Amino acid sequence: MPHKILFVCTGNICRSPTAEGVARGLAQRFGMAQQFEFDSAGTHGYHIGEAPDPRSVAAAKRRGFELAALRARRVTEFDFVRFDHVLAMDREHLELLQQACPREHRAKLRLFLEYGEGLAEDQVPDPYYGGPQGFEHVLDLVEAAATHLIRSLAAK
């Protein structure tokens, strides 16, 4: 059975699709793609059906990760059942997930950057209203955390 991981941010157009695409790409590079199933969603339905932010797509592509085919969706109640790990990009997302999640599945909820060993930050900042450097910073954090996530879960 593959490890099923859902990444969650607000609108599912910047941070969580970046995490999904990077994690999928890293799992492939590490020869572990068959051990994982990745998806992403938003706490809000602002952008349902939309592609990721073009700045996220471009930044990820420069590092060899593909996001263009992803489409935004909102977290559903079934996600708490289906996924083994539901990883929030920041504390606000985690709080919203905790409120929506049935009690028996709450142990699946965590901040994504809890997997980022040695990182000075524990939340992935929202790059939406900033410049290109914000998208690069998100990629730095996501690559570090996704690498450790994949390696630690594959070892189990």
- Is residue 9 annotated as part of the catalytic site, yes or no? yes
Q: How far is 77 from 22, CA to CA, in rounded Å?
A: 25
- Is residue 73 annotated as part of the catalytic site, yes or no? no
Q: How far is 142 from 146, CA to CA, in rounded Å?
A: 6
Residue 120 CB neighbours (<10 A): 7
H or E element: which one contains 16?
helix 15-29
CATH code of the domain in which 19 resides: 3.40.50.2300
Considering only CA atoms, give the Rg of the chain. 14
Q: Which of 71, 74, 84, 126 is catalytic?
A: 126
Residue 36 CB neighbours (<10 A): 20
- Is residue 126 annotated as part of the catalytic site, yes or no? yes
How many structural domains compose the chain? 1
Tell me which residue range forms the domain holding 51.
3-154
Q: Which of 9, 53, 90, 101 is catalytic?
A: 9
Q: How far is 62 from 145, CA to CA, in rounded Å?
A: 19
pLDDT in tens, the chain (156 residues): 999 999 999 999 999 999 999 999 999 999 999 999 999 999 999 999 999 999 999 999 999 999 999 999 999 999 999 999 999 999 999 999 999 999 999 999 999 999 998 999 999 999 999 899 999 999 999 999 999 999 999 987
Q: How far is 17 from 70, CA to CA, in rounded Å?
A: 7
Q: Which of 14, 15, 39, 55 is catalytic?
A: 15
pTM to 2 decimal places: 0.98
Quick one: pLDDT at residue 71? 98
